[in-house]
Amino acid sequence: MAVIGIDLGTTNSACGVLSGEGVRLIPNRLGEVLTPSVVGLDDAGKLVVGKTAKERLINHSDRTVAAFKRLMGTDHKVKLGKQLFSATELSALVLRSLKEDAETYLGEEVTEAVISVPAYFNDNQRHATKLAGELAGLKVERLINEPTAAAIAYGLHDKREGNFLILDMGGGTFDVSILEFFDGVMEVHASAGDNFLGGEDFVEAMIDSALGELQVNKNSLSPRQLQNLYMQMESAKRRISQQPEQVLALEVGREKIEWTATAEWFEKLSTPLLLRAKRPIERAMRDADLPPQKIDEVVLVGGSTRMALFRSMVGRMFGRLPSCHLDPDTVVAMGAAIQAGLKSRNAALEDIVLTDVCPYTLGTGVINEDSPDQGEYFMPIIERNTVVPISVVRRVWTAHDKQAEVRIDVYQGENRLVKKNVYLGEMSVAVPKGARGEESVDIRYSYDMNGLLEVDVTVVSTGKTFNKLIEFTPGALSDEEKASSLEKLAKLKFHPREDEENRALVARGERLYESSLGEQRDYIAKLLGNFDRILDGQNPAEIKKARAKLQEILDRFDGEDWI
């Protein structure tokens, strides 16, 4: 039974499988390898995922959600129709769609997967990703960091040794990893990033700048107008390097305003975001103790790295052009598929050893008696960018006379005060009463390749050991909640695969109708009405012919495919 590799992205997702011929990217029900990470409900309450849902973002924003990966690991809920969903549940719907596509493509049941996550995802977000896989009916064999997956794809592709800097910027996250490939070993030296920096932020900056100059309050726009504005700015961002001046027709209230987007304007508003991108690159270089000249190759991953300004910034930092000869949109899925092949011991693959690092410092809170008014201080146990799997033990002593219990709070972060770090969980152990500092406990943190943390606490005087797997994750579900989630997701009805291509085309036509006026709008309405009649006839040959014709016409109207 095949194990698939999945790139669960903020903007788009993809999956692949390793075979004797190499990596095969799995096409979705529309024949495309990229599935937009968008979930919606149609007018009949049936679930739509991917391109069809994305086409409905403008006209049905109250029943369609996107970019929910940024909410992974939080307790934030998103309203979809009349129901509330967590980011984990929404991600499960995307994963379920990918699973069905893989089963159709491979002709067999798929129950196991390797899923990629941003390197800078914390424990909460990693747990939420594994849970999403479980809700989708997948046993998640392993989580793999996205930059590491990309490096595997490049390393196995080129069969070269050296130090690689992987810069992965997608729609919502930015990851930086420094890896060394030697003697069949892929070793991660450092990892850094920004979980809230991606292509979506550049588009948001464009929208804010344009509305600011027009003195228009964003809240005054309808959801449809705002989504239409978003899609126009997204298109302008993609074309700005080839077309330095673009005239956009912005709909504000009942008015249509012409707005000119220029390369100079885009560069100015992008500068703060590019400076944000530089910080994790510089931090990773410091952590790895490598000067720029020791980096053999800079590799770009993620669709947002196509921006000329980003590539120019990287070129200036390292004095060379970055590499991007593999498709940045699919390279992570390729690497995840290779790792899935390793996991299933595919005979066609040369075995490699893969090491990874802990992206955050993990530690506990201790009392510093020199500054008791400051509260608890953070005591690192596993430092960030330590190679994993790793197990480290530190000893602490009782802080009070006749203390009968020691509580071990688990945190991750880099601040000296625990209140400014991320709380992961806690455990308490009983200790014999005695004078302050008389009793001690050994705290052992064990961190594995999946980003899961196990805590062992041994009371030194008695030899008793207590164990806990840290699973306190905001947004995670109890067994009862998990069962309820599975029941809720099972009740959502997916549209049949065979209808999806037609539905996506109709949704696209409806979007274009909404954004058009006059004769153009009438013409699109006529086209859609004719296509509806042909669909009602249920003649496969006629439907196929009409679909191709409608696709060609809509391509001309659209100017550029949004997907």
Would you say residue 157 lies in a domain?
Answer: yes
Overall average pLDDT of the 53-70 stretch: 85
Would you say residue 484 lies in a domain?
Answer: no
Overall average pLDDT of the 20-24 stretch: 86
Structural domains in the chain (count): 4
Q: What CATH number does residue 414 fall under?
A: 2.60.34.10
Report which of residues 556 and 421 the model is more confident about.
421
Q: How confident is the model at residue 519 (pLDDT cuts 50, 70, 90)?
A: confident
Q: Looking at 242, 270, 298, which one is the last position of a domain?
A: 270
Q: Looking at 245, 270, 295, which one is the last position of a domain?
A: 270
Tell me: pLDDT of 562 over 60. no
Which of the 8 DSSP states describes residue 50?
S
Would you say residue 136 lies in a domain?
Answer: yes
Q: Does one domain contain both 62 and 209?
A: no
Q: Does one domain contain both 85 and 223?
A: no
Q: Does one domain contain both 398 and 504?
A: no
Q: Which of 123, 168, 194, 501 is catalytic?
A: 168
Q: Does one domain contain both 187 and 203?
A: no
Cite the DSSP H helix spans in 308-436. 308-318, 331-343
User: What is the C-alpha end-to-end distance of the chain, expressed in Å?
Assistant: 32
Q: Does one domain contain both 252 and 279?
A: no
Q: Does one domain contain both 173 and 310?
A: yes
Q: Does one domain contain both 431 and 401?
A: yes
10-19, 229-238, 518-527: range with highest mean pLDDT: 10-19
Overall average pLDDT of the 270-298 stretch: 93
Amino acid symbol at 230: Y
Q: Does one domain contain both 245 and 322?
A: no
Per-residue confidence (pLDDT) for residue 157, from 0 to 100: 47
Would you say residue 520 lies in a domain?
Answer: yes
Overall average pLDDT of the 182-205 stretch: 86
Q: How confident is the model at residue 357 (pLDDT cuts 50, 70, 90)?
A: confident
Q: Looking at 356, 380, 403, which one is the last position of a domain?
A: 356
Would you say residue 469 lies in a domain?
Answer: no
Per-residue confidence (pLDDT) for residue 506, from 0 to 100: 82
Overall average pLDDT of the 471-498 stretch: 63
For the chain, how many helices (H) and strands (E)?
Answer: 13, 28
Would you say residue 349 lies in a domain?
Answer: yes
Give percent of the chain with pLDDT exceeding 90: 39
Average pLDDT, rounded, for the chain: 85
Q: Does one domain contain both 232 and 159?
A: no
> Who contacts 186 (Cβ-Cβ below 8 Å, separation ≥6)?
148, 151, 152, 155, 179, 180, 352, 353, 354, 355
Q: Which of 42, 51, 54, 69 is catalytic?
A: 69
Report which of residues 108 and 557 the model is more confident about.
108
CA distance 192 to 284: 6
Q: What are phi and psi of 56, to 5 degrees?
A: -90, 0
Q: Which of 150-159, 247-256, 468-477 has the lowest mean pLDDT?
A: 468-477
Q: In what order do the strands lie in the sheet with 162-169?
A: 297-301, 162-169, 174-182, 185-194, 353-354
CA distance 111 to 447: 26
Overall average pLDDT of the 316-342 stretch: 89
Q: Does one domain contain both 139 and 71?
A: yes
196-210, 408-422, 440-454, 467-481: range with highest mean pLDDT: 196-210
Per-residue confidence (pLDDT) for residue 494, from 0 to 100: 56
**Cα 421-426-427 angle, rounded to 5 deg:** 155
Per-residue confidence (pLDDT) for residue 187, from 0 to 100: 81
What pTM, to 2 d.p., does this model score? 0.72
Give percent of the chain with pLDDT exceeding 70: 90
Q: Does one domain contain both 148 and 278?
A: yes
Report which of residues 213 and 60 the model is more confident about.
213
Amino acid symbol at 546: A
Instruction: Evaluate whether 449 touches 142 at the Cβ level (below 8 Å).
Output: yes
Q: Which of 134, 146, 287, 329 is catalytic?
A: 146
Digit-coded pLDDT (tens) for 405-452: 999 999 988 888 888 888 888 899 999 999 999 999 999 999 887 667
Q: Can you read off the two tokens belonging to residue 411?
A: 């945190």
Digit-coded pLDDT (tens) for 155-164: 754 557 788 8
Overall average pLDDT of the 472-487 stretch: 65
- Asked about 69 being catalytic, the answer comes back as yes
The DSSP string of 170-215 is -SS-EEEEEEEEETTEEEEEEEEEETT-SHHHHHHHHHHHHHHHHT
Q: Does one domain contain both 257 and 394?
A: no
Overall average pLDDT of the 80-85 stretch: 84
- Asked about 168 being catalytic, the answer comes back as yes
Tokens 């659209």 label which residue? 558
Q: How confident is the model at residue 563 (pLDDT cuts 50, 70, 90)?
A: very low
Residue-number span of the structural domain to which 161 is assigned = 3-197+272-356
Q: What CATH number does residue 235 fall under?
A: 3.90.640.10
> Who contacts 100 (Cβ-Cβ below 8 Å, separation ≥6)?
29, 494, 497
Q: How confident is the model at residue 360 (pLDDT cuts 50, 70, 90)?
A: confident
**Cα 548-549-553 angle, rounded to 5 deg:** 115
Beta-sheet pairing, 83-86 with 77-80: antiparallel
